[in-house]
Amino acid sequence: MRFRSLDIFIDTRLVGVLFQYGEGAGAITRLQPEPGYWLDPQAPVLSWATHFDDATDRAAFVAQYTVQPFFNGVGERLPRFFQNLLPEGPLRRHLEQLRGCAPDDHFDLLAMCGDDLPGAVRATPSAQSRTATAAIVTQHQDALELSVVDDPVAGAVSLSGIQPKLGLVEKGGRYVARTRTRSDGLHIIAKLPALDYALLPEVEHLSLQLAQAAGVNVCQASLRPVSDIHLDDQPFVLHAGANFLAVERFDRDGTRHIHCEDFAQVLGLDPLDKYKDPQQRANYAALLLTLRESMGLGDEAAHELLRRLMVNEMLGNYDAHVKNFGVIYADGRTPALSPAYDVVAYAAFLGGRGHALKFYPGAPDRAQITPALLRQLCNASGLLETRVHAVLRDTVRRALATWPALIEASELMPEQKKRLLAHFLAVPAVEALDQRHRRAGSAGRQVSPP
């Protein structure tokens, strides 16, 4: 039977051995935990999905690793935490061609990107011996066909999303693959133009500016010409004169990898369930409860998330699924809501309404934010309704004061500006505030009778 294995690290700390025994639907794909890591209460966090305050609960969880979903994949699919680390879209197809692996060979793809995975996770070919492996997997009852897992491909980076992307490092004002320079420069995600969406980098850059103007904590990004990318490090065909969006990676600081995870990982969801899952965990109330109660971040983090949801509605960002929200562990252990990323005003391209996730279990699909919906959301998440309304009113007020001018001054095409502004002004909360402002202005201009 075929056997492959990878040593998994969080920073320099061995977490365990991820192995795959067999092939097809009957394969066993499992993380064999390293007890020294898992039983250490001061160890850096791999995933909040495995967080336990009580040492006894933690020990029981690890002891049951053969049946715990966190440690086990299904067939050749990786355990969910690791499945969520894999690249997506055009970058994934490019890496599969570069590696020569099958499209569904998730294990080899993880190995390929093992040196530059999101956060502080690393995956390297395992040093596990044949004897030790046989003892772990088969209790010496089967002859193993040990497959050599190739080393990570230099410069292969795992990035999610359907847009063409590259992981690059700044060097002398240009951007190169990590293999061409030491990794202590500024790490960026280069989000490239897309054939299906005209001026997508410009739209996303504007979206981040608009979100920030409305009070959201956003990732740092700038527009740069594609000529700034070293030609040999650019596998996609691009038009001369086009721009790309250079997004600074908040999980990198020179050579240091800062751990982070998205909410699919936090909630223990497969990436295929990023919009909807059978257990109804993929909803905004679950994110709010996790931030506020499980992670102990209180109302401040919950209000920041709600501000982002209001911004998404005003932008027409219809694709804010669980992987588009995440947490970062700056000190390796303490979670914080990560800066907003993948914020895109799809209303500049197409019509639509609502949000990618349900607001709470049983909520309507593609709902818009209304007082009735907010009441139900507050009941589901334990938030004080009056404070939530105040946060969202402030968000809308900031947007109404700044967005029209920012949209007009942007590099978008005239038709895109028109679509985006029309969508924004038609959002019920914006429309109501705008009407109040107009009535107040009209009353102020009235002349008192003599």
**3-state class (DSSP) for residue 95:** helix
Tell me: pLDDT of 296 over 70.
Answer: yes
Instruction: Say what the pLDDT of residue 423 is.
Output: 98
Tell me: pLDDT of 436 over 80.
Answer: yes
Instruction: Say what the pLDDT of residue 302 is.
Output: 99
Query: What does the longest C-alpha to C-alpha distance in the chain come to?
Result: 103
Model's pTM, two decimal places?
0.91
Write down how long the chain is.
450
Tell me: pLDDT of 378 over 70.
Answer: yes
Write down the domain spans for the chain.
2-146, 165-257, 259-436
HSE value, Cβ hemisphere, 13 Å, CA-based, for 326: 26
Token pair belonging to 147 = 């497959």
Report the mean per-residue pLDDT for the chain: 90
pLDDT in tens, 105-143: 999 999 999 999 999 999 999 976 555 665 666 655 555
d(CA 436, CA 431): 9
Q: What is the mean predicted confidence (pLDDT) over 228-251?
A: 83
Instruction: Say what the pLDDT of residue 300 is.
Output: 98
d(CA 71, CA 266): 14
pLDDT in tens, 170-207: 988 888 876 655 567 899 999 999 888 999 999 999 99
Q: Which residues contact 432 (CB under 8 A, 6 or more apart)?
A: none
Contact present, 186 and 251 (Cβ < 8 Å)? no
Identify the weakest region by mean pLDDT among 116-120, 231-235, 444-448.
444-448
What is the CATH code of the structural domain delimited by 259-436? 1.10.1070.20
Integer distance in angstroms from the first to the last C-alpha of the chain?
A: 98
Band of pLDDT at residue 234, cut at 50, 70 and 90: low
d(CA 103, CA 86): 12
d(CA 383, CA 385): 6
d(CA 287, CA 294): 10
Q: How many Cβ atoms are within 10 Å of 163's Cβ, its own excluded? A: 23
Q: What is the mean predicted confidence (pLDDT) over 320-337?
A: 98
How do 2-10 and 121-125 pair as beta strands? antiparallel
Q: Which neighbouring-strand residues pair with 358?
A: 283
d(CA 404, CA 240): 30
